[in-house]
Amino acid sequence: MTLRPLRFCWRILYNAVSHYFRDSGSAFASHIALSGLMALFPFLIFATSLASFIGARAYTQQSVNALLKMLPDAIAGPIVKEVVNVMTIQRGGLLTISVIGTAYFASNGVEALRTALNRAYRVVDRRSLFFCRFQSLFFVIVGTIGLMVISFLLVLAPLVINILQHDYPVIGQYVGTIRFWRYAIAVVVLLISLLIAHKWLPAGKRKLADILPGIGVTMVVWVLASMLFAQYLATFANYVSTYAGLASIMVAIIFLYMLSAIFILGGEINAAIMFYRNRQQQPGQLVRAIEQKEEKEEGLKQQNNDGQNDHTVVS
């Protein structure tokens, strides 16, 4: 009985990894990494413009800096510096062509995720181009609003902790640090983002139980990979000798590529589990194809047996 789960896990992992390499998963990981990096600053421009319009600009800057500083120092350092430069520039009104354009270019990162997930889940997206693009723009707007909500929580959580510790000193030993709250909020945001991406971005319909395994693997492997990559950068890596002044940019791209590959593998794992559980979109056709193949093989065997019998009788 103990071998069955191990055999099932091995089949899932083998199916997911083999399909990842067979279907050019590395190329799509590069596409996501580059598109994500290019979409980051248009998204921040749009987010700060919207935040300024409703009077929440300072909170948004604080939350972005707090979230980016959770990355390894070698990656967060150059990105945070440029993000601060982008977010501190004063811009005009919200409803301008430039801001609408930044929202459009920010949605390119969402489209890259959609393309990779469609390949990972082995589905063909027949939805209209306009629907997909408007959905991506909608997710950009929702992400911006979510960023402002996170901003409020990151500012509110430390204040609540200080008030509780001042009025009820006993609670101090049970209340986590501000750093814990930042990580807790980041984990919740990451979980919600992955749920939305796997549930609605690719074509087809999937139940919540179908996408949770890959999301869980993605989150765990992301944390481990980030820790190992940070340790590698601090101990062994010397990108300056290879890429000179572009070292910080290359480190960020390599890190995003690694996270993108893990993200795609999460979708591959979900697809492999659904395949072995016969939860594909057209399971009846799959079963009929297998039955027809077995019937054909049995027919060929029967024909061979009849031919051998006829040859024996003639002899």
Record the tokens describing residue 214, joined without a space.
């890959």
Residue 94: CB partners within 8 Å, gap ≥ 6?
Answer: 49, 50, 52, 53
Average pLDDT over every residue of 274-298: 61
Nearest CA-CA partner of 102 in 42, 39, 36: 42
Q: What is the pLDDT of residue 279?
A: 46
Instruction: Kindly tell me if the per-residue pLDDT of 113 is higher than 70.
Output: yes
Could you tell me if 100 and 213 are in contact, meaning their C-beta atoms sit under 8 angstroms apart?
A: no
Where residue 281 falls among pLDDT bands split at 50, 70, 90?
very low
Q: What is the pLDDT of residue 237?
A: 65
Could you tell me if 154 and 185 are in contact, meaning their C-beta atoms sit under 8 angstroms apart?
A: yes
Record the tokens describing residue 234, joined without a space.
């601090």
Average pLDDT over every residue of 191-213: 92
Mean pLDDT of the chain: 76
Rounded Cα gap, residues 185 and 187, in angstroms? 5
Each residue's pLDDT tens digit, 1-38: 445 778 888 889 999 999 999 989 999 999 999 888 88
Rounded Cα gap, residues 1 and 165, in angstroms? 52
Report DSSP letters for 210-235, one per residue. Answer: HHHHHHHHHHHHHHHHHHHHHHHHHH
Q: What is the pLDDT of residue 101?
A: 75
Instruction: Kindly tell me if the per-residue pLDDT of 56 is higher than 60.
Output: no
Where residue 214 falls among pLDDT bands split at 50, 70, 90?
very high
Hey, how many other C-beta atoms are within 10 angstroms of the C-beta on 145?
Answer: 14
Q: Identify residue 96 by its one-letter amino acid code.
A: T
Where residue 47 falls among pLDDT bands split at 50, 70, 90?
confident
Phi, psi of 256, deg, nearest 5: -65, -35
Give residue 44's Cα distance to chain centre.
19
Rounded Cα gap, residues 58 and 224, in angstroms? 32
Average pLDDT over every residue of 279-298: 56
Hey, how many other C-beta atoms are within 10 angstroms of the C-beta on 40?
Answer: 19
Q: What is the pLDDT of residue 68?
A: 64
Average pLDDT over every residue of 252-278: 91
Q: Identify residue 210 by its one-letter amino acid code.
A: D
Nearest CA-CA partner of 198 in 220, 186, 214, 185: 214
Q: What is the pLDDT of residue 280?
A: 43
Q: What is the pLDDT of residue 283?
A: 46
Could you tell me if 75 and 255 are in contact, meaning their C-beta atoms sit under 8 angstroms apart?
A: yes
Greatest mean pLDDT among 56-60, 155-159, 245-249, 253-257 lies in: 253-257
pLDDT: which is higher, 46 or 88: 46
Element spanning 258, H or E? helix 247-276
Residue 237: CB partners within 8 Å, gap ≥ 6?
Answer: 251
